[in-house]
Chains A and B, each alone.
Chain A
Amino acid sequence: MAIFMHQRQHRSRFRHQRVRPRQNLPRLMGNVNEAIALLNHRGQFVATNALAAQILHNSSAQLKGQYWRDFVNTSLDFSQCHRGSQPTGKQVSLQRSQPGAPQQILEWSLTQNIRPRLHLVIFRDISDRKTQAEAALVQQQQQVELFAEVTLKIRQSLQLDEILNTTVKEVQRILKADRVLAYQVLKDGTGKPISEAVLPQHSAILGMTFPEEVFPLHYQQRYAQGRVVAIADVQDPQAGLAECLVEFVQQFDIRAKLIVPILTSPLLAKSSSPSDHGPAANHAPQPVLWGLLIAHQCTVPRQWNAAELALMQQLANQIGVAIAQSQLVENLEDIVDLRTTALRQQEEQLRLITNALPVLIAYVDRQQRYQFNNQAYEAWLGQTPGQLKGQHLETVWGSEHYQRMGLPVQTVLAGEMISYDHEMVGQDGEHRALNITYIPDMDGQGEVQGFFALTSDISDRKAIERMKDEFISVVSHELRTPLTSMHSALKILSTGRLGTLSEDGQQMLEIADDNTERLVRLVNSVLDLQRIESGDVTMEKQICNAAGLITQAIEAMQPMAQQQGINLVGQSQPLQIWADADYMLQALTNLISNAIKFSPAGNEVSINLEAQPNQTLFHIHDEGAGIPADKLDSIFERFQQVDSSDARRKGGTGLGLTICRKIIEQHGGHIWVKSQLGQGSTFSFSVPDPPTQRTSLSKHQP
């Protein structure tokens, strides 16, 4: 009768039963470990075995005549009516679920026309399998999560202990192993578990040191090459475990074990220790065995599956990375410690040095609060650096001194270095002169973060300067009286009214007279210079007519020019400048006198003005011998002349240009010279306009 085929091996088994009587069918169907149903060409049940009836929640009798499509949400297609055609292996179909009952999932296969208009359906309930697959998925998911968590831990934490502890704990949980260890292999061949997660009923082996015999070198080498050992049962002779080891592992109830190596990259580890530049560094990076990640099953054997193996390996790899990282970090920390110590030492040295200096050194932040003060502040202010830290400048110095600081502080916070003098009464009641320099502290973006304040007591220097000034002043004054006598006596002699001299005698008298005059000029110049330099002189600036000054200077120098046969030409176009008229006149006459002295007879000396935005330029041009290029820079220094014989020949003091420069600088201007040998020189100087605009000045123009 009917032959039921499900799988090929079944087919051959059924083939020689072909002649069996039909009544044997139910028995046959009952013996088959699958659900079997016979359907007619309309899809109605003809016969079912017990398993089929059970799955479809009906008896075989009840099912008879009912339609397959009422039970299963897929109807069958019997259009192909060839006998014995290949089973259509539909994978999964959903059974119409009973209210409230969990959904059933069937897997079935159809063989059409095993007899004419009779079809065979073999099916099974795979709902449980689905659950198992889901469980496997969940486990896989958990493993992925664990892997992610460990990886994250490794990224977030550089604490190796923490990483290892997390790993063993989670592996133990996920694998449901009895014991999970991170075992470190030490250099001498011994080793010890340094992290362990173990169920309470089993003994802990954390911290025990294992002798070298347990883990011989050739084992280490094999693990270093990545060997993984999975032993389902250590007592199984086929596991290949040496007898002594079997005994050894039994001490700890170990029945099954899974061992994966933890390898680290030697390059990564090596680069972390800068002192180690051994030849090994040049070799291709060979993984170094750091230790093992071990899972134990105690008491009973355990077959380790591929997913577990893969998980252990992935985790071991991550741990390897973590170890390399932590070694790197440890090394970095060592280096940082070293540098920090060095920095502290430097800071201490700096403190010692700054404390030893008689200078007040401080760092002030952008909010004008002290962040560093050296010890010298205590002697000055009676407050220790500790007390000063964080205090505002105004609090420390009081509003009167702070007012004086205001502008310089603003300047330095705008990014410009500034130096100024200030006077105050110190703790000891002594009057002190201070020189204060503020240096801006800029960050990489050019933003001012604060400033360094260097304050030095220049009282001594000021005293010495005063002494020097007094000395020059006294000497100059003391020289004046004898000079008056000499000068007058010689002048009186040269009148000839006290008796006539020989021609030679007359010449000697002239030399004495000329040089007395020169000495007078020198004394006057030294005194002028000293006064201007000492700052005793303040330029009484006011609006004056530059052309008027030039006219006055020309008038003053006209006798000298006539004597030398020089024509003086000056600009007469009025132009207002902001200057001290007396000193400006002195500068002009000095420059004109210079130009006359160095011009050959018959030449011209011209004085011109040039109005520029924000300043006025004066040009004094001569057609003399000119100045060699190498002398141009030094010509404004005192006692510098182009030719040392010039001083005598021209009767100069060597101070004229220096005085000019000082006068111009006191006006906030500059002086310079352009010259070509044989073609003359042009001395120029600038006089800046006052803070108000030129237009407002021009209103005052005549």
Chain B
Amino acid sequence: MTSSRQLLIIDDEETIQTVVDFGLKLSAGWSLLKASSGREGITIAQEHSPDAILLDVMMPEMDGVATFKALQADGQTNEIPVIFLTAKAQATEKSQLKALGVSGVITKPFNALDLPMLISRILHW
């Protein structure tokens, strides 16, 4: 948690992008790249190779699952760990998402200030 990290958030909700940005910055000094759609996120991921991607599941057009599959299919991005952000709290849904091969699932609502701790735990940083 000491080293400075750069993460990418892909979420159509701008307020989420903002609070996550503040939370990461204030609690751990990490920086955040922001994308509002799957396509935008893939492009940014290819360009900047972030340390991890926070990916919202429910998005219009290209949803989180499709985006994740696209990232996995791309040689430039398939090594980047992905954590889903979901409003679906049910255990079965969580395990379904995990089964896709993502590194972890974080359930909304969360406190953005807790994110660096949660992410470090999931990714064993």
Binding site for B on A (CB under 8 A): 476-478, 480-485, 487-489, 491-492, 495, 497-498, 520, 523-524, 527, 531, 536, 582
Q: Which one of B91, B109, B111, B112 contacts A480 once the chains associate, using CB atoms below 8 Å?
A: B109
Using Cβ atoms and an 8 Å threshold, which residues of chain B touch A497? 26
Check B113–A488 contact: CB distance below 8 A.
Answer: yes
Check A485–B113 contact: CB distance below 8 A.
Answer: no
Check A484–B16 contact: CB distance below 8 A.
Answer: yes
Check B108–A480 contact: CB distance below 8 A.
Answer: yes
8 A-B pairs within 8 Å (CB atoms) are namely A476-B87, A477-B58, A480-B87, A481-B87, A487-B110, A488-B22, A495-B113, A527-B89
Q: Which one of B13, B19, B58, B87 contacts A489 once the chains associate, using CB atoms below 8 Å?
A: B19
CB distance from A584 to the nearest CB of B (A): 15
Q: B11: nearest residue on chain A (CB-CB)?
A: A481
Most B Cβ at <10 Å: residue of A477, A478, A483, A527:
A477
Using Cβ atoms and an 8 Å threshold, which residues of chain A touch B110? 484, 487-488
Query: 5 closest pairs, A vs B, by CB?
Result: A488-B112, A488-B19, A477-B87, A485-B15, A480-B87
Check A481–B108 contact: CB distance below 8 A.
Answer: yes
CA distance A491 to B20 in the complex (A): 12
Size of the B side of the interface (Cβ < 8 Å), in residues, is 21
Map CB proximity to A onto B67-105 as digits: 1 under 8 Å, 0 otherwise: 000000000000000000001111100000000000000
Q: Which one of A477, A482, A498, A523 contacts B15 once the chains associate, using CB atoms below 8 Å?
A: A482
Q: Which one of A492, A520, A531 contacts B109 once the chains associate, using CB atoms below 8 Å?
A: A520
Using Cβ atoms and an 8 Å threshold, which residues of chain B touch A491? 23, 111-113
Check A531–B90 contact: CB distance below 8 A.
Answer: yes
Most A Cβ at <10 Å: residue of B13, B109, B113:
B109
Using Cβ atoms and an 8 Å threshold, which residues of chain A touch B111? 487-488, 491
Check B19–A492 contact: CB distance below 8 A.
Answer: yes
CA distance A522 to B107 in the complex (A): 15
CA distance A481 to B107 in the complex (A): 10
Binding site for A on B (CB under 8 A): 13, 15-16, 18-20, 22-23, 26, 58, 87-91, 108-113
Using Cβ atoms and an 8 Å threshold, which residues of chain B touch A527? 89
Known contacts A483-B109, A484-B110, A492 near B15 by CB under 8 Å: no
Using Cβ atoms and an 8 Å threshold, which residues of chain B touch A477? 58, 87-88
Check B26–A492 contact: CB distance below 8 A.
Answer: yes
Q: A527: nearest residue on chain B (CB-CB)?
A: B89
Check A484–B89 contact: CB distance below 8 A.
Answer: no
Q: Which one of B15, B16, B87 contacts A478 once the chains associate, using CB atoms below 8 Å?
A: B87
Q: B14: nearest residue on chain A (CB-CB)?
A: A485
Q: B15: nearest residue on chain A (CB-CB)?
A: A485
Using Cβ atoms and an 8 Å threshold, which residues of chain A touch B113? 488, 491-492, 495
Check B22–A483 contact: CB distance below 8 A.
Answer: no
Check B108–A483 contact: CB distance below 8 A.
Answer: yes
Check B109–A487 contact: CB distance below 8 A.
Answer: yes
CB distance from B95 to the nearest CB of A (A): 12
Check B26–A485 contact: CB distance below 8 A.
Answer: no
CA distance A484 to B87 in the complex (A): 10
Check A484–B109 contact: CB distance below 8 A.
Answer: yes
Check A524–B89 contact: CB distance below 8 A.
Answer: yes
CA distance A495 to B26 in the complex (A): 9
CB distance from B110 to the nearest CB of A (A): 6
CB distance from A663 to the nearest CB of B (A): 14
Using Cβ atoms and an 8 Å threshold, which residues of chain B touch A483? 108-109
Check B112–A481 contact: CB distance below 8 A.
Answer: no
Check B19–A485 contact: CB distance below 8 A.
Answer: yes
CB distance from A511 to the nearest CB of B (A): 17
Q: B85: nearest residue on chain A (CB-CB)?
A: A484
CA distance A524 to B88 in the complex (A): 10
Most B Cβ at <10 Å: residue of A480, A497, A520:
A480
CB distance from A652 to the nearest CB of B (A): 18
CA distance A482 to B20 in the complex (A): 13
CB distance from A346 to the nearest CB of B (A): 53
Most B Cβ at <10 Å: residue of A476, A481, A489:
A481
Using Cβ atoms and an 8 Å threshold, which residues of chain A touch B23? 488, 491-492
Known contacts A491-B112, A491-B113, A495-B113, A484 near B88 by CB under 8 Å: no
CA distance A524 to B109 in the complex (A): 9
CA distance A423 to B113 in the complex (A): 48
CB distance from B73 to the nearest CB of A (A): 28
Using Cβ atoms and an 8 Å threshold, which residues of chain A touch B26? 492, 495, 497
CB distance from B115 to the nearest CB of A (A): 9
CA distance A388 to B9 in the complex (A): 65
Q: A538: nearest residue on chain B (CB-CB)?
A: B92
CB distance from A528 to the nearest CB of B (A): 9
CB distance from A509 to the nearest CB of B (A): 14
CA distance A183 to B109 in the complex (A): 105
CB distance from B103 to the nearest CB of A (A): 20
Check A488–B20 contact: CB distance below 8 A.
Answer: yes
Q: A493: nearest residue on chain B (CB-CB)?
A: B22
CB distance from A541 to the nearest CB of B (A): 15
CA distance A482 to B18 in the complex (A): 12
Using Cβ atoms and an 8 Å threshold, which residues of chain B touch A536? 90
Q: A489: nearest residue on chain B (CB-CB)?
A: B19
Known contacts A482-B15, A485-B16, A485-B19, A492 near B112 by CB under 8 Å: yes
Using Cβ atoms and an 8 Å threshold, which residues of chain B touch A498? 22
Q: B19: nearest residue on chain A (CB-CB)?
A: A488
CB distance from A516 to the nearest CB of B (A): 8
CB distance from A279 to the nearest CB of B (A): 84
CA distance A531 to B93 in the complex (A): 13
Using Cβ atoms and an 8 Å threshold, which residues of chain B touch A523? 109
Check A484–B108 contact: CB distance below 8 A.
Answer: yes
Check A484–B19 contact: CB distance below 8 A.
Answer: yes
Extra 13 A-B pairs, beta carbons < 8 Å, given A491-B23, A492-B19:
A480-B108, A481-B13, A484-B16, A484-B108, A484-B109, A485-B13, A485-B16, A487-B111, A488-B110, A488-B111, A492-B22, A495-B113, A582-B91
CA distance A243 to B96 in the complex (A): 121
CA distance A186 to B22 in the complex (A): 116
Q: A483: nearest residue on chain B (CB-CB)?
A: B109
Q: A495: nearest residue on chain B (CB-CB)?
A: B26
Using Cβ atoms and an 8 Å threshold, which residues of chain A touch B16? 481, 484-485
CA distance A125 to B90 in the complex (A): 125
CA distance A590 to B20 in the complex (A): 30
